[in-house]
C-alpha cells in the first residue's frame, strides 16, 4: 500500500522590534533573568497592554512579502491556558480576524516549482522561558521562570497542508526564512529561537481524498531536525496504520538525540482555549494608504534581488537563485563583488568551496571566517595569473585557518604563480631533456604523455608554473 | 439540569480550582440556578445584532516602538514566593 | 473641632486661609478612625506615618505661599483594589494578603501630583465581586447608619469611611454598581464616570469592559472635584478616551429648568420596595417643582440586563484572575510538588467561594460548545441594551431611577447568590452601556438612606452633576451624619 504524506507548517517568527508587543520593555536577547520586565509583561494585578505600532507594520510587511491579503479590520483575542511561562495565563493573540490571509510561497524541489499556500498570518505575544533544574523538563524537580522574553512580539505563519514530503517542507521553510530576513522583520535565528517551526503531519492511502488524522511535532529547531522528524513521523504513522492502529491527534516532540518523536500528551484535558475578544485592546483598522506605504517601503525581496543580480552582475539563473537563498549570502556576495569585477568567479567560489565548507561545519555564512574582501581579492589574484586555481584551494584553506589576506599568504607560502616565459621555458626544456621517451610517445599519438610531462613540470615548479603557458610551450616544442 | 457535579468538577479543573466534596452539591445547585435563569436570553431574537466588544468606537491606539527601562530584577522578584538564580522558582512543570 | 465631618471643598478653604493645618486635619481623621473603626471595619490597611509626612509637606507648601490643588492636604481613602506602590494592596483577598505593588495606578499618580493624602486602603468584596462587602477575606464592613446592616458593595469600605467620617473623600470602583449602590446604602454621593473617562491602569481588573474608578464623597461638589483630578486619557490604558476633561465643578449650578428627566418604567415596577419608591416619587416631584420636565420612557431590555452582566463579567473575570497562580506573587501553597498542583491548591486556598463561583461561571460560558449560546449571545443583548438607552435619550436629557430597589439589609442575610445578583438591576445596565451614573442621597426609608440614580448620556457627566447638585442643595441630606447605631 502506498501512502501520501500531507504536511502543514506553523512557523513562529519573533519580530525584531525594539520594544515588546504590549509594553515598552526591551526585546534584547540575553541579559540576566527578569531584567527586561515591567508590571505589564510580569502580569502584575491592574497592568494593561498597549499595542506597539511597529508590530502591525512588520506584520503587514511580512504579509505583503508572501502575497497575502492584508485585512482592514483587526482585533485581538485572549487565548486562555495555564502555564508558568505565561505571565497572565492567557496569551494575547488573534483568533478569528488575523491580520493577513491567503498568501503563497513558490518553492523548487528537484527542478519542479510548486506553490505552497499560506492560510494566515497573525500577531501574538511570546511567553517567558523556563530554565529547568534537570536535563530535561521531564527530569526536573523544579524550574525557574525568566520573563525577559514574555511579551516579545511574534507573527505566526500558518501554511496550507500543501507539502507532500520532507524536502518540500524544508524548501518552504528555507524560502520563508529568507523572505522574512529580507523584509527585515525578524532575525530568523533558529538556534536562538527567533524562528520556530511546528509541523503537522498525516498520512493517507495514495489516491484518497480525505486527509488522515494529523499529529503535531514541536521543538524543531533546525532544517535538519525538520527533515529527520518528518521522515521519522511518516514511517511511524504508516507503521501504526498498517499494524491496524489509528493515528491519534496529539502533540509530539522531536528527540534529536534518539531520532524519534515522542508523545507529549498529558492526562489533562485537550486544550480548550476559550478564545474571546481582548477587552483591554481596541481594534486596529488598516487603510489602503497604510498598506501602500508599507508596500513602497518593502526592502528588496529575494526574487527582485535575483533579477537584479542577473541583470547587473550577469549571473545565470541557477547561480543567482542560490546566492539569494539567504539574505546573508546575498550580502556576502555583494560585499565580495565590490572587490572584483569577476562576479561569476565569486559566485563559483560561494556555491562551490564555500558552501561545501559551511555544510561540513554546519555553520551559516554569517560565521564564515573568510571576509568578503579577501575572497574577492583571491579571485583577482587568480584572474591576474598570480595564483593558479589549483593553488588557490590551498590559499583558501589557509585563509580559513588564519584569516590572513590572500596576498600575504601567497607571499608567505611562496605560491606565486610563475608566469615569466623565460623561467617556464627553462623548466620545460629541462623536463623534455629528461624524458625523451615521452616526446616519442606523444608524437606517436599517445596524448597521455603530454599530461605526464605537464605533471613533471608542475612538480618541478612546485605547482607554480602557469599551466596555460606550460601547455602552450610544451606543444610548441613537440611539433 | 444544565450541569452535573461531574461537569462542575471538569470546569473547576479548567479553572485550576478544587471545590471541596462537601460543597459540591450546593455549588452545582447554585450554578444550575444561574444557568437556568440564563435561558431567558433565548427569548430574544439577536440575529444580525453586532456583539458589543467596546462601548465607544475607539481604534488604532498605538504606541511608538521605543524601549524604556523596566524594573530591576530585585523589584521584579520582590513579591515572589520562591526564587532561584534570578528566576521565579516553581515546582516541576509537568506532572 | 469635628473636622472629619467637613467636605473637601470646605476644608480646602480653611487650609488656604490657614485656619487649620493639614497635619491637624489628618490627625483629626485618624482620631475618628481610632474611635469608630472597631465597629465599622472600613479599612484593610492604614498608612498613618506616610499620611502625616505628606500632611507636613503640604503645610510647608502653604506656609511658603504656594498655590495648592483642591485636594492637597486633604485625607482620603482608596479602595483596596487600586494599586498603590509600596502600600499593601489586597483586593480583600487571601490571595493578595501580602502584595506590595511595584507601581502606582494612574489615578494614584494623578492624586499624588495634587499632593493629596492617602489615609489607607479600604475594604471591599473580594476582588470587587459582590454587593455587600461580606465576601471580604478580612470580614465585612458595617453600615455606619446601622452597624447590623451591610454597607453595600463592592466599595462598601470606601462608602463607610465617608459616612462614618473616617475619610474626607474616597475612591471606589464600579463594575455593576459597586460605587453607586454602597453610596446609596450609606447616604453618600457616588459617581461612575463614562467608561474610558478614568484610566483603569492599576485597578485590579474584574471585568475589563465594565470596570471604572470613581469617587464616593460627602457631596456632589467633592465628587466633581475628585473627578477633575482622576479623569483624563492615559497612554497606559488603551481603552481610556482621548477626550478633553472639562472642569466638572463648573457644571454645579442650581438649575434644572427645562431639563427633560426620563423615568424608565421598567425601573419602577414590581421589585421596588414601596418605601424606596415613595422617596423617589417625592424626589421626582421636587424636580418638577424646580422646573424640570418629566418624561415617561422605556428601556425594554432591562429585564435581561442582570443575566447579561452575570455572563459577561464572570467571563472576563475568569481570564483576568487567571494570573493569580502562586508563581510571581500572591499566596502560594508551598507543599505542592508540581506546578499544576501548586496553582490549583494556591487558587483553591487563596480565593473565597464567590470568586470561585464567578471564575467557574466565566470559564463555563467561554468554553467550547457554550461560547455562542452564552457569551456571544450576551454580547449581542448588550448591544440591544445600549440601543435602548440611545433611543430613550432622544426623548430626554438624563434618566432618573432608584439606585437600588431596596435599602441596606442585614449582614449575613444568607441570600442565594442569584437573589443578590438581582438587586443590581438598577445599576448594571449603566455599566453595560458605558454611561455615566451618579447616586445622590434622596431621602430616608425607615431611617436608612435611599439613593437616587441619575444616568447621563455618554460623556455627559456635567448634566447629571448639575441635576444632582440642584437636588442636593434643595435638601439637607448631605449634611446628616450617620449615627453609628445598631449592634
Which DSSP state fits B19? -
Q: How far apart are CA C55 and CA C46, in angstroms?
A: 15
- Chain A contacts of C327, Cβ < 8 Å? 84, 145
Rounded to the nearest 10 degrees, the angle between the axes of helix A421-434 and helix A436-443 is 90
- Check: CB of residue B83 under 8 Å from CB of residue A136: no
Cα-based angle C209, C362, A276 (whole degrees, multiple of 5): 55
Interchain CB contact of A145 with C (< 8 Å): yes
Convert C376-427 into a string of H (helix), E (strand) and C (coil). HHHHHHHHHHHHHHHHHCCCCCEEEEECCCCCCCECCCCCCHHHHHHCCCCC
Cα-based angle C468, C474, C477 (whole degrees, multiple of 5): 80
CATH of domain B1-44: 1.10.20
Q: What is the largest CA-CA distance in chain C?
A: 70
pLDDT tens per residue, range C78-96: 999 999 999 999 999 999 9
- Chain C contacts of A87, Cβ < 8 Å? 323, 328
Give pLDDT, residue A77: 97
Name the grid cell of A437.
621517451
Residue of C nearest to B49 (CA): C380
Q: What percent of chain A has pLDDT over 70?
A: 99
Measure in Å the smallest separation between the Cα of A196 and chain C Cα atoms. Answer: 25
The mean of the pLDDT values for chain C is 96
- Chain A contacts of B95, Cβ < 8 Å? 266-267
User: Within the 250-279 window of chain A, which residues sit less than 8 Å (CB to CB) from chain B?
Assistant: 266-269, 272, 274, 277, 279
Instruction: Give DSSP secondary structure letters for A341-404.
Output: S-HHHHHHHIIIIIHHHHHHHT--GGG-SS-HHHHHHHHHHHHTTSS-HHHHHHHHHHHHHH--
Interchain CB contact of A286 with C (< 8 Å): no
A140 φ, ψ to 5°? -105, 135
Measure in Å the smallest separation between the Cα of C131 and chain A Cα atoms. Answer: 21
pLDDT above 80: residue A378: yes
- Chain B contacts of A18, Cβ < 8 Å? 65-67
| Cβ within 8 Å, pair C375-A276 | yes
Phi-psi region of A18 (alpha: psi -120 to 50; beta: other; left: phi over 0): alpha
Catalytic residue among C41, C79, C94, C110: C79
* Nearest to A21, CA basis, from A72, A47, A56: A56
pLDDT tens per residue, range A416-431: 877 778 888 888 888 8
Interchain CB contact of A130 with C (< 8 Å): no
Q: How far apart are CA A215 and CA A199, in angstroms?
A: 8
Q: Is C69 helix (H, G, I), strand (E, B) or coil?
A: coil
The mean of the pLDDT values for chain A is 92
Q: Is C208 a catalytic residue?
A: no
pLDDT tens per residue, range A360-371: 998 889 899 999
As a whole number, mean pLDDT of residues A306-312 equals 93
How far are the Cα atoms of A108, A115, A151, A183 from residue A306, in angstroms, in the given order? 15, 19, 36, 15
SS3 content of chain C, % helix, strand, coil (to 5): 40, 15, 40
A235 φ, ψ to 5°? -60, -45
Q: Residue A157 forms beta bridges with which residues?
A: A11, A121
Measure in Å the smallest separation between the Cα of A162 and chain C Cα atoms. Answer: 28
Rounded to the nearest 10 degrees, the angle between the axes of helix A448-460 and helix A421-434 is 120
Give pLDDT, residue C239: 97
| Cβ within 8 Å, pair B76-A36 | no
pLDDT above 70: residue C486: no
Which residue in A17, A36, A284 is closest to B60 by CB distance? A284
Residue C178 vs residue A474, higher pLDDT: C178
Name the grid cell of A327.
539574505
Q: Which chains touch A (3 or more CB pairs under 8 A)?
A: B, C
Q: How far apart are CA A438 and CA C373, in angstroms?
A: 97
Residue A451 vs residue C173, higher pLDDT: C173
pLDDT above 60: residue A116: yes
Q: How far apart are CA A429 and CA A438, in angstroms?
A: 13
Indicate the length of chain B as a whole number.
95
Q: Which chains touch B (3 or more CB pairs under 8 A)?
A: A, C
Lowest mean pLDDT among A50-59, A324-333, C29-38, C381-390: A324-333
Which residue in B3, B17, B78 is closest to C359 by CB distance? B17
pLDDT above 80: residue C487: no
Residue B10 vs residue A389, higher pLDDT: B10
C3-257+436-479, which class in CATH?
alpha beta
Taking residue C314's Cβ as centre, other Cβ atoms within 10 Å add up to 26
Size of interface B-C (CB pairs under 8 A): 161
pLDDT tens per residue, range C396-422: 999 999 999 999 999 986 778 888 888
Residue of B nearest to A17 (CA): B65
- Chain C contacts of B90, Cβ < 8 Å? 327, 339, 342
Measure in Å the smallest separation between the Cα of A298 and chain C Cα atoms. Answer: 29
Task: Please report which confidence band the pLDDT of residue C294 belongs to, taking 50, 70 and 90 as the band edges.
Answer: very high
Give pLDDT, residue C418: 83
Q: How far apart are CA C49 and CA C86, in angstroms?
A: 13
Q: Where are the domains of chain C?
A: 3-257+436-479
pLDDT tens per residue, range A225-282: 999 999 999 999 999 999 999 998 888 989 888 899 988 765 444 678 999 999 999 9
- Chain A contacts of B70, Cβ < 8 Å? 23-26, 35-38, 41
Residue C30 vs residue A366, higher pLDDT: C30
Whether residue C14 has a cis bond before it, omega within 30° of 0: no
Q: Is C79 a catalytic residue?
A: yes
A421-478, which class in CATH?
mainly alpha
pLDDT above 50: residue A295: yes
Give pLDDT, residue A264: 77
Measure in Å the smallest separation between the Cα of A114 and chain B Cα atoms. Answer: 38
* Nearest to C5, CA basis, from C482, C485, C486: C482
Residue B90 vs residue A133, higher pLDDT: B90
pLDDT above 60: residue A301: yes
Could you tell me where the DSSP H helices lie in A40-81? 53-65
| Cβ within 8 Å, pair B91-C327 | no
Name the grid cell of C118.
492617602
What is this model's ipTM?
0.96
Give pLDDT, residue C191: 98
Q: Where in chain A is the domain with CATH 1.10.10.410?
A: 421-478
Give pLDDT, residue A463: 81
Catalytic residue among C22, C93, C136, C178: C178
Amino acid at each position: 500500500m502506498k501512502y501520501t504524506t500531507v504536511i502543514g507548517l506553523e512557523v513562529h517568527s519573533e519580530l525584531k522590534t525594539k520594544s515588546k508587543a504590549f509594553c515598552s520593555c526591551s526585546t534584547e536577547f540575553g541579559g540576566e533573568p527578569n531584567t527586561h520586565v515591567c508590571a505589564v509583561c510580569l502580569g502584575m494585578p491592574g497592568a494593561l497592554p498597549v499595542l506597539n505600532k511597529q508590530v502591525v507594520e512588520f506584520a503587514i510587511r511580512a504579509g505583503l512579502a508572501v502575497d497575502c491579503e492584508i485585512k482592514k479590520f483587526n482585533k485581538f483575542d485572549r487565548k486562555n491556558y495555564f502555564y508558568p511561562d505565561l505571565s497572565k495565563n492567557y496569551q494575547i493573540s488573534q483568533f478569528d480576524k488575523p491580520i493577513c490571509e491567503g498568501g503563497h510561497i513558490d518553492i523548487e524541489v528537484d527542478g519542479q516549482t510548486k506553490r505552497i499556500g499560506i492560510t494566515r498570518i497573525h500577531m501574538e505575544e511570546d511567553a517567558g522561558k523556563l530554565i529547568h533544574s534537570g536535563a530535561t523538563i521531564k527530569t526536573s524537580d523544579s524550574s525557574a521562570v525568566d520573563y525577559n522574553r514574555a511579551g516579545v512580539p511574534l507573527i505566526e505563519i500558518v501554511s496550507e497542508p500543501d507539502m507532500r514530503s520532507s524536502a518540500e517542507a524544508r524548501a518552504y521553510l528555507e524560502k520563508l526564512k529568507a523572505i522574512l530576513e529580507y523584509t527585515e522583520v525578524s532575525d530568523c535565528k533558529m538556534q536562538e529561537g527567533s524562528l520556530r517551526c511546528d509541523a503537522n503531519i498525516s498520512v493517507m492511502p495514495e489516491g484518497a481524498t480525505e486527509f488522515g488524522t494529523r499529529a503535531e511535532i514541536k521543538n524543531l529547531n533546525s532544517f535538519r531536525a525538520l527533515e529527520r522528524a518528518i521522515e521519522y513521523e511518516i514511517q511511524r504513522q504508516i507503521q501504526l496504520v498498517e499494524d491496524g492502529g489509528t493515528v491519534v491527534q496529539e502533540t509530539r516532540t522531536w528527540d534529536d538525540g534518539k531520532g524519534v518523536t515522542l508523545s507529549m500528551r498529558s492526562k489533562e484535558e485537550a486544550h480548550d482555549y476559550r478564545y474571546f475578544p481582548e477587552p483591554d485592546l481596541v481594534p486596529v483598522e488598516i487603510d489602503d494608504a497604510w498598506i501602500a506605504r508599507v508596500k513602497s517601503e518593502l526592502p528588496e525581496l529575494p526574487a527582485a534581488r535575483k533579477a537584479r543580480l542577473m541583470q547587473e552582475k550577469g549571473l545565470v539563473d541557477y547561480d543567482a537563485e542560490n546566492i539569494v537563498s539567504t539574505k546573508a549570502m546575498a550580502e556576502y556576495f555583494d560585499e565580495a563583488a565590490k572587490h572584483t569585477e569577476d562576479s561569476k568567479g565569486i559566485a563559483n567560489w560561494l556555491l562551490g568551496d564555500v558552501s561545501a565548507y559551511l555544510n561540513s561545519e554546519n555553520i551559516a555564512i554569517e560565521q564564515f571566517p573568510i571576509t568578503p574582501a579577501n575572497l574577492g581579492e583571491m579571485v583577482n589574484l587568480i584572474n591576474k595569473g598570480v595564483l593558479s586555481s589549483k593553488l588557490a584551494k590551498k590559499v583558501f584553506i589557509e585563509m580559513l585557518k588564519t584569516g590572513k589576506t590572500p596576498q600575504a599568504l601567497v607571499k608567505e607560502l611562496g605560491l606565486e604563480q610563475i608566469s615569466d616565459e623565460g623561467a617556464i621555458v627553462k623548466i620545460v626544456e629541462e623536463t623534455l631533456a629528461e624524458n625523451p621517451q615521452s616526446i616519442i610517445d606523444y608524437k606517436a599519438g599517445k596524448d597521455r604523455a603530454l599530461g605526464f610531462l605537464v605533471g613533471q613540470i608542475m612538480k618541478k615548479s612546485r605547482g607554480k608554473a602557469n599551466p596555460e603557458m606550460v601547455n602552450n610551450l610544451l606543444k610548441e616544442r613537440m611539433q | 439540569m444544565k450541569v452535573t457535579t461531574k461537569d462542575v468538577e471538569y470546569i473547576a479543573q479548567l479553572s485550576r480550582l478544587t471545590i471541596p466534596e462537601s460543597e459540591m452539591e450546593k455549588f452545582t445547585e447554585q450554578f444550575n440556578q444561574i444557568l437556568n435563569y440564563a435561558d431567558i436570553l433565548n427569548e430574544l431574537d439577536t440575529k444580525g445584532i453586532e456583539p458589543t466588544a467596546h462601548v465607544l468606537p475607539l481604534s488604532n491606539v498605538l504606541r511608538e516602538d521605543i524601549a524604556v527601562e523596566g524594573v530591576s530584577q530585585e523589584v521584579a522578584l520582590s513579591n515572589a514566593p520562591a526564587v532561584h538564580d534570578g528566576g521565579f522558582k516553581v515546582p516541576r512543570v509537568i506532572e | 473641632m469635628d473636622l472629619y465631618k467637613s467636605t473637601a471643598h470646605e476644608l480646602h478653604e480653611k487650609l488656604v486661609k490657614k485656619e487649620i493645618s493639614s497635619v491637624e486635619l489628618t490627625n483629626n481623621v485618624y482620631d475618628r478612625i481610632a474611635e469608630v473603626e472597631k465597629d465599622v471595619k472600613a479599612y484593610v490597611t492604614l498608612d498613618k506615618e506616610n499620611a502625616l509626612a505628606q500632611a507636613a509637606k503640604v503645610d510647608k507648601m502653604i506656609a511658603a505661599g504656594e498655590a495648592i490643588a483642591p485636594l492637597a492636604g486633604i485625607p482620603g481613602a482608596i479602595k483596596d483594589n487600586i494599586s498603590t506602590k509600596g502600600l499593601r494592596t489586597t483586593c480583600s483577598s487571601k490571595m493578595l494578603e501580602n502584595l506590595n505593588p511595584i507601581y502606582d495606578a494612574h489615578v494614584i499618580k494623578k492624586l499624588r501630583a495634587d499632593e493629596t493624602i492617602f489615609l489607607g486602603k479600604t475594604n471591599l468584596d473580594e476582588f470587587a465581586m459582590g454587593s455587600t462587602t461580606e465576601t471580604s477575606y478580612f470580614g465585612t464592613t458595617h453600615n455606619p447608619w446601622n452597624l447590623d446592616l451591610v454597607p453595600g458593595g463592592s466599595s462598601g469600605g470606601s462608602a463607610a469611611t465617608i459616612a462614618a467620617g473616617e475619610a474626607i473623600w474616597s475612591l471606589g470602583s464600579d463594575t455593576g454598581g459597586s460605587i453607586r449602590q454602597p453610596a446609596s446604602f450609606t447616604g453618600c454621593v457616588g459617581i461612575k464616570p463614562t467608561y474610558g473617562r478614568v484610566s483603569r491602569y492599576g485597578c485590579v481588573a474584574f471585568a475589563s469592559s465594565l470596570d471604572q474608578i470613581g469617587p464616593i464623597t460627602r457631596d456632589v461638589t467633592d465628587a466633581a472635584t475628585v473627578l477633575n483630578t482622576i479623569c483624563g486619557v492615559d497612554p497606559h490604558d488603551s481603552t481610556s478616551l482621548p477626550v478633553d476633561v472639562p472642569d466638572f465643578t463648573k457644571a454645579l449650578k442650581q438649575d434644572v429648568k427645562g431639563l427633560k428627566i426620563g423615568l424608565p418604567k421598567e425601573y419602577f415596577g414590581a421589585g421596588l420596595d414601596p418605601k424606596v419608591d415613595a422617596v423617589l416619587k417625592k424626589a421626582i416631584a421636587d424636580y418638577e417643582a424646580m422646573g424640570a420636565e418629566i418624561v415617561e420612557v422605556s428601556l425594554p431590555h432591562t429585564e435581561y440586563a442582570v443575566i447579561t452582566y452575570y455572563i459577561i463579567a464572570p467571563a472576563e473575570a475568569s481570564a483576568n484572575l487567571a494570573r493569580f497562580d502562586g508563581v510571581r506573587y500572591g499566596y502560594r501553597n508551598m507543599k505542592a510538588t508540581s506546578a499544576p498542583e501548586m496553582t490549583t491548591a494556591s487558587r483553591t486556598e487563596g480565593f473565597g467561594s464567590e470568586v470561585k463561583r464567578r471564575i467557574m461561571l466565566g470559564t463555563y460560558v467561554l468554553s467550547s460548545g457554550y461560547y455562542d449560546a452564552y457569551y456571544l449571545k450576551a454580547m449581542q443583548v448588550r448591544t440591544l441594551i445600549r440601543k435602548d438607552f440611545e433611543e430613550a435619550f432622544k426623548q430626554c436629557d438624563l434618566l432618573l431611577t432608584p439606585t437600588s430597589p431596596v435599602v441596606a439589609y442585614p449582614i449575613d442575610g444568607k441570600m442565594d447568590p442569584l437573589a443578590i445578583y438581582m438587586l443590581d438591576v438598577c445599576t448594571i445596565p449603566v455599566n453595560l452601556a458605558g454611561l455615566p451614573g451618579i447616586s445622590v442621597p434622596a431621602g430616608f426609608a425607615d431611617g436608612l438612606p435611599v439613593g437616587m440614580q441619575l444616568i447621563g448620556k455618554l460623556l455627559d457627566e456635567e448634566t447629571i452633576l448639575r441635576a444632582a447638585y440642584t437636588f442636593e442643595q434643595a435638601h439637607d441630606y448631605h449634611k446628616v451624619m450617620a449615627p453609628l447605631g445598631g449592634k
